[in-house]
Amino acid sequence: MQINTTPTQERVTVPIAEFEKLTAERDELKRQLNELKRMLFGSKSERFIPAIEEQLSLFEDLIKKTEKELEKHTIVYQREKTKKQKEQPIRSALPAHLPRVEQIIAPKKIPANAVKIGEEITELLEVKPLTIFVRRIIRPKYALPKEQGVIIAELPSLPIPKGNASASLLSFILVSKFVDHLPCSFYKLF
């Protein structure tokens, strides 16, 4: 007994409209089959993200129609942007009942005819073991003659720029919290 392995092919003529309808139906069935396979055998998750190509193919007819129907319009307008002003944080004053220790830092080279016009005062919260005090750094300002400018001493480097905590206070907090495993109870003094 011999088995014929070559398939027999018949030629059938079909109108173009029916052929396009059949190919569209075949493509839709393939898409559905692929989606079902992905749902059955694909990775599971709560969120299902379909393939982008399949999504675009759903709206091809609409895209083709709207491209022909739409006209291109150019719209030009100007808009003024309002700039938001950054709000500066307001730091509360350090408690008045704490003792103050003053430190005066004068500029190094002051001309003989310079006039003192004011002071810049920076207050930092300091701590010594079992003692908290405020260190005041006073930096006199001097006006140069003939409106040549103002001279002021530089502020020493601070661990937190524009902050009012000194290095001793920050190190005390870190040691209390991470080495001694204690809450920082010195806040109750304020």
Closest by CA position to 152, among listed 107, 122, 113: 107
**Predicted local confidence at residue 25, as pLDDT:** 94
- The reply to whether the predicted model has a pTM over 0.95 is no
**Predicted local confidence at residue 24, as pLDDT:** 93
Give residue 5's region: left, alpha or beta (phi > 0; psi -120 to 50).
alpha
Sequence-distant contacts of 183-188: CB under 8 A, at least 24 apart: 186/127, 186/132
Query: How far out from the chain centre does Cα 156 lie?
Result: 31
The tens digit of pLDDT for each residue in 2-27 reads 555 566 677 878 889 898 999 999 99
